Amino acid sequence: MEVLKQLFEQHFRVPADQVSRLQGQLGGSGRAILRLASGGISAIGILYPVKEENIAFLEFSRHFRRHGLPVPEIYAESLKQGAYLEEDFGDMTLFDFLNKNRDGENISASAVDAYRKVVGTLPRFQVDAGRDLNYKVCYPRSSFDRQSIAWDLNYFKYYFLRLAGIPFNEQALEQDFSRLTRFLLGADHDYFLYRDFQSRNIMLRDGQPFFLDYQGGRKGALQYDIASLLYDGKADLPPQLRQQLLDDYLDCLAEHIPLDRAAFMEHYYAYVYVRILQALGAYGFRGFYERKAHFLQSVPYALKNLAWLADNVKLPIALPALMEALCGMSRSDTLQGLASSANSLTVRIFSFSFHRTLPSDETGNGGGFTFDARSLPNPGREEQFMQLTGKDGPVIDYLNQQESVRQYFANVLTLIDASVFAYQRRGFKNLMVSFGCTGGQHRSVFLAEQLATHLRGANGVSVIVRHMEMEKMGK
């Protein structure tokens, strides 16, 4: 962190007096992302030890800016220390904007317009800036070639199919993978492939899109990136909007190159498949292997997209073993359980002591509500309650008799019930609520248990309760 502060002061000539860690912006990448600020000045600092990937991002950023593309300005860098400082585009991702402007499949005109701006900009990356890009700095491969495709397909096979317990014939599947790879490479692949062109890597500022996270870019086919955006799992775009945006993209692309739409579409859905399989491999690695459960929440959306493809698309090549494995996924009790849980809102409720660190958000959503209960009457000061907790009857009776506690909890319920309703309506999957008090044993535990009891009666809500201080005491 100190190196970022030094870079900030060197560039802006003032010290950073505020440093905050950002969550969720680059979920599975392993980067440390921080916002540094002083007065009205702010910048994003990145700490990441992979030098080759940092070089790719920095060189691509400067190249894209020379082409007038909306990517961050690089303020300062220290490759030796794995650090760089870049322009701050704020906190509104395209994904967040979409979720704030939708009601199920009804997506507002403003969100559709944001997507249209994004697909209209994509050909400028792929074609215009791709012509004279230095592909020698690409990491880990300079092109989306046979090796790159093999990595993605094996990622899916070993980290998703295998870990989810989906049966498959390995030799037959390998033959399908070889057939699919040959077909994919039959598309014209002499363009810049952004690689991770999805809604969380696109920021919106003053209604305009700005682009991040292209350090994995390489030479490849045009179809891959638009497939990544339109079949971005949790974005869950309706099929008719996907088709509308694909048509918009092709119209814009035709302004940059002579476009044979039939040839483009011949390979398009094969790239949709390979992108979804790559994403499933990532979900499996992070979720099944690393046991970061929130990554598995994206699996049902990928399964939904695969089901739509099975019903609406016939590929020009036969892939029987792969299709059988995908059918096995649809029959899997494990994956159906994930699909069932994806349709509900999980509320994680914590109690804690303010003498300790606040509970951390495990879902990548940035937390929710933290309530301070220290203003309420404290049973811990009464000798008869000292060895008890907020789960014990005498403490519960004592707190229930306090008018201030009843009013406090009524206000909490007003906020939480409204948030639960809004989260469910907008398709959010996680809400975190924490109650803190002095010792983390009485008031916070009582309130956490009361809220859990209240929410367990709500439709489509699952509740997880953790008492952080009691866990430390072994209670």
Could you report the per-residue pLDDT of 104-130, keeping only the tens digit for each?
788 999 999 999 999 999 999 999 999
Task: List pLDDT tens digits, range 149-197.
Answer: 999 999 999 999 999 999 999 999 999 999 999 999 999 999 999 999 9
Confidence category of residue 457, pLDDT binned at 50, 70, 90: low
Residues 312, 262: one domain?
Answer: yes
By the 8 A CB rule, do 288 and 155 touch? Answer: no
Which of 341, 365, 390 delimits the end of a domain? Answer: 341
Task: List pLDDT tens digits, range 192-238.
Answer: 999 999 999 999 999 999 999 999 999 999 999 999 999 998 899 99
Task: List pLDDT tens digits, range 360-380.
Answer: 887 767 678 999 999 999 998
Residues 144, 63: one domain?
Answer: no
Residues 302, 412: one domain?
Answer: no
Q: Please list, in sequence order, all residues whose beta carbon lies within 8 angstroms of the beta carbon of residue 459, skipping any fewer than 6 positions away.
A: none
For position 363, what pLDDT does the model report? Answer: 75
Residues 131, 231: one domain?
Answer: yes
Paired tokens of 40: 């009205």
Total domains, the chain = 3
Residues 408, 323: one domain?
Answer: no
- Dist CA 225 CA 269 (whole Å): 12
Q: Please list, in sequence order, all residues whose beta carbon lies within 8 angstroms of the beta carbon of residue 319, skipping any fewer than 6 positions away.
A: 176, 179, 180
* CA nearest to 319, candidates 158, 187, 170, 175: 175
Paired tokens of 370: 């933290």
Average pLDDT, the chain: 92
Which H or E run contains 54?
Answer: helix 51-66
- Dist CA 217 CA 131 (whole Å): 14
- Region of residue 21 (left: phi > 0; alpha: psi -120 to 50; beta: else): beta
Q: Which residues of 374-390 are buried (b: 16+ CB within 10 A; e: fewer)?
A: eebbbbbeeeebeebbb
Domain enclosing residue 287, as ranges: 94-341
By the 8 A CB rule, do 468 and 356 touch? Answer: yes
CATH number at residue 13: 3.30.200
For position 325, what pLDDT does the model report? Answer: 97
For position 447, what pLDDT does the model report? Answer: 97
- CA distance to 213, 223, 308, 314, 459, per residue, from 311 (Å): 33, 21, 5, 8, 31
CATH number at residue 318: 3.90.1200.10
For position 278, what pLDDT does the model report? Answer: 97
For position 29, what pLDDT does the model report? Answer: 61
- Which of 11-15, 63-67, 96-100 is least confident? 96-100
| Paired sense of beta strands 369-372 and 430-437, if any | parallel
Task: List pLDDT tens digits, range 275-300.
Answer: 999 999 999 998 899 877 778 878 98
3-state SS, residue 121: helix
Residues 35, 109: one domain?
Answer: no
3-state SS, residue 28: coil
By the 8 A CB rule, do 336 and 421 touch? Answer: no
For position 424, what pLDDT does the model report? Answer: 78
Residues 163, 177: one domain?
Answer: yes
CA 145 to chain CA centroid, Å, is: 26
Which of 32, 55, 86 delimits the end of a domain? Answer: 86
By the 8 A CB rule, do 399 and 405 touch? Answer: yes
CB 16: neighbour CB atoms within 10 A? 23
Residues 284, 303: one domain?
Answer: yes
Which of 341, 376, 402 delimits the end of a domain? Answer: 341
- Dist CA 18 CA 38 (whole Å): 6
Paired tokens of 367: 């937390």
| Triad 465, 466, 470: Cα angle to 5° | 135
Residues 99, 81: one domain?
Answer: no
Residues 355, 277: one domain?
Answer: no
By the 8 A CB rule, do 56 and 98 touch? Answer: no
> Does residue 25 surpass a pLDDT of 80?
no
Residues 368, 337: one domain?
Answer: no
For position 425, what pLDDT does the model report? Answer: 73
For position 27, what pLDDT does the model report? Answer: 46
Residues 183, 262: one domain?
Answer: yes
Q: Please confirm whether the linkage preceding 140 is cis (ω < 30° from 0).
A: yes
- Dist CA 181 CA 384 (whole Å): 72
Burial class of residue 459 (count of CB atoms within 10 Å of its CB; 0-12, 13-18, 19+): exposed
For position 104, what pLDDT does the model report? Answer: 76
Average pLDDT over residues 412-441: 89
> Does residue 26 surpass a pLDDT of 50?
no
Which H or E run contains 173?
Answer: helix 170-184
